[in-house]
């Protein structure tokens, strides 16, 4: 039993040792396997580290692509906004043209306007667009004659002024007029007029300097009519009183005479005679001009280029030519200003369109030209003809 026990012990010891060895082996094997597993894992992990690099690269690519996409979206958004702004500009130009038309309609319908108790006038620029003060005495005398209702609209010059040469006969006489020059555009306007053999009228301001003087001389030398448009074009100063108006007028007349040798005989009020800026009755300035043997001209067609934004070329052409057939005398208001680039662009086609019209002549304003005036007033040399006193 004991032997058995011992042997059993032995056996058991052996068994134990064998078991230990096996355990060791097993544990060693386990360790080996663990090591192998670790190695495998590290082996597996290594390519994973390389994958991390690729992933970073892919991430950067994705970020770049995302940035590009964001940029593209932003560019697209901006172009959409530019388109929208362009459309808005066009709409504004259309609104401005419609308002201009409405103002001209008002100027052409004095009776209706008086009945409505409204005050009218068409501003030629930002100042003219100022809120109406109700002081301008607008009667639309100027264009009444166009509709065959009498001679009040297109009055021949006061007696003794006619030179006798006479204007060419035409059912429709068109006078292109350019305000506010000379400017950086004057030379090009003159070139275009020359190219088409057209004479026009320039209502200029007192701009000094050799370039301006050169342009003034060229206007006269090439047979265009030189008109005055004040010296300073400063509404507040000019319309402060008849005295300050007279002072500015004399300065303009003397300056132009000094530069060109020509004494101008026509005048255009800054803002027109129907301007809503002057707090003094415009008839008083009209009377003053009459006392100086000066005739003033407003307009009955406006290009619409007097505002602060650029009017599209097509619209300028339409504005300048659409209603010529309705008038015997068309005085077309345009501006000679460095910023008025579309006016310059539109001019050739405006001229071509008018030249293609039947029985229509493009002329410079002369002593024979019937006046187009927005206000009704009384002149010492004019017949008083039913004007409202
Ligand atoms: Zn002006």
Q: What is the pLDDT of residue 101?
A: 57
CA 237 to ligand 1 center in whole angstroms: 14
Q: What is the pLDDT of residue 121?
A: 34
How far apart (Å, rounded) are the C-alpha atoms in residues 356 and 291? 40
The reply to whether omega before 15 is within 30° of 0 (cis) is no
How far apart (Å, rounded) are the C-alpha atoms in residues 46 and 292? 103
Q: What is the pLDDT of residue 89?
A: 76
Q: What is the pLDDT of residue 226?
A: 98
How far apart (Å, rounded) are the C-alpha atoms in residues 354 and 192? 14
CA 24 to ligand 1 center in whole angstroms: 112
CA 198 to ligand 1 center in whole angstroms: 22
Phi then psi dihedrals of residue 25, to 5 deg: -55, -45
CB 94 within 8 A of CB 101: no
- Residue closest to 303 by CA, chosen among 351, 375, 233, 270: 351
What is the sign of the dihedral through the CA atoms of 253, 182, 334 and 103? Answer: negative
DSSP one-letter code for 371: B
Describe the chain by its helix, strand, coil percentages, rounded to 5.
55, 10, 40
Dihedral-angle region of residue 304 (phi above 0 means left; psi in -120 to 50 means alpha; beta otherwise): left
The distance in angstroms from the start CA to the end CA of the chain is: 158
Interstrand relation of 172-179 and 329-335 (parallel, antiparallel or unpaired)? parallel
- Residue closest to 155 by CA, chosen among 386, 319, 367: 367
CA 336 to ligand 1 center in whole angstroms: 9
CA 69 to ligand 1 center in whole angstroms: 50
What is the sign of the dihedral through the CA atoms of 377, 380, 382 and 386? Answer: positive
CA 186 to ligand 1 center in whole angstroms: 15
How far apart (Å, rounded) are the C-alpha atoms in residues 89 and 220? 37
pLDDT block averages, 10 residues each, the chain of length 389: 41 42 44 46 47 80 90 88 79 66 50 33 38 32 37 39 67 98 98 98 97 98 98 97 98 98 97 96 97 98 95 98 98 97 98 98 97 90 39
């Amino acid at each position: 039993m004991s032997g058995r026990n011992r042997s059993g012990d032995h056996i058991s010891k052996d068994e134990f040792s064998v078991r230990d060895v096996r355990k060791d082996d097993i544990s060693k094997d386990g360790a080996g396997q663990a090591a192998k597993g670790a190695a495998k894992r590290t082996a597996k992990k290594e390519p994973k580290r390389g994958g991390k690099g690729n992933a970073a690269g892919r991430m950067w690519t994705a970020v770049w692509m995302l940035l590009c996409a964001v940029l593209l979206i932003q560019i697209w958004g901006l172009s959409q906004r530019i388109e929208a702004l362009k459309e808005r500009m066009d709409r504004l130009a259309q609104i401005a043209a419609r308002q201009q038309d409405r103002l001209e309609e008002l100027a052409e319908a004095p009776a209706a306007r008086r009945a409505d108790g409204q005050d009218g006038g068409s501003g030629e620029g930002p100042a003219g667009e100022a809120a109406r003060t109700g002081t301008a005495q607008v009667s639309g005398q100027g264009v009444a004659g166009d509709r065959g209702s009498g001679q009040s609209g297109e009055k021949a010059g006061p007696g003794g002024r006619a030179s006798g040469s006479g204007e060419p006969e035409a059912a429709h006489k068109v006078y292109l007029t350019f305000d506010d020059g000379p400017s950086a555009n004057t030379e090009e306007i003159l070139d275009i007029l020359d190219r088409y053999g057209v004479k026009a009228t320039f209502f200029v301001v007192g701009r000094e300097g050799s370039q301006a003087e050169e342009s003034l001389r060229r206007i006269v030398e090439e047979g265009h009519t030189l008109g005055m448009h004040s010296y300073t074009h400063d509404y507040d100063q000019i319309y402060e009183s008849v005295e300050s108006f007279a002072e500015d007028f004399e300065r303009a007349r003397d300056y132009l005479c000094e530069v060109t040798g020509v004494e101008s005989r026509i005048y255009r009020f800054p803002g027109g005679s129907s301007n809503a800026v002057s707090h003094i009755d415009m008839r008083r300035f009209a009377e003053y001009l009459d006392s100086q043997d000066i005739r003033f001209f407003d307009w009955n067609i406006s290009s619409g280029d007097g505002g602060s934004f650029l009017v599209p070329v097509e619209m300028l052409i339409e504005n300048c030519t659409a209603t010529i057939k309705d008038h015997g005398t068309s005085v077309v208001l345009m501006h000679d200003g460095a910023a008025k680039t579309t006016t310059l662009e539109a001019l050739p086609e405006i001229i071509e369109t008018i030249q293609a019209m039947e029985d229509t002549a493009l002329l410079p304003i002369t002593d024979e030209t019937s006046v187009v005036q927005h206000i009704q007033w009384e002149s010492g040399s004019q017949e008083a003809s039913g004007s409202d006193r």
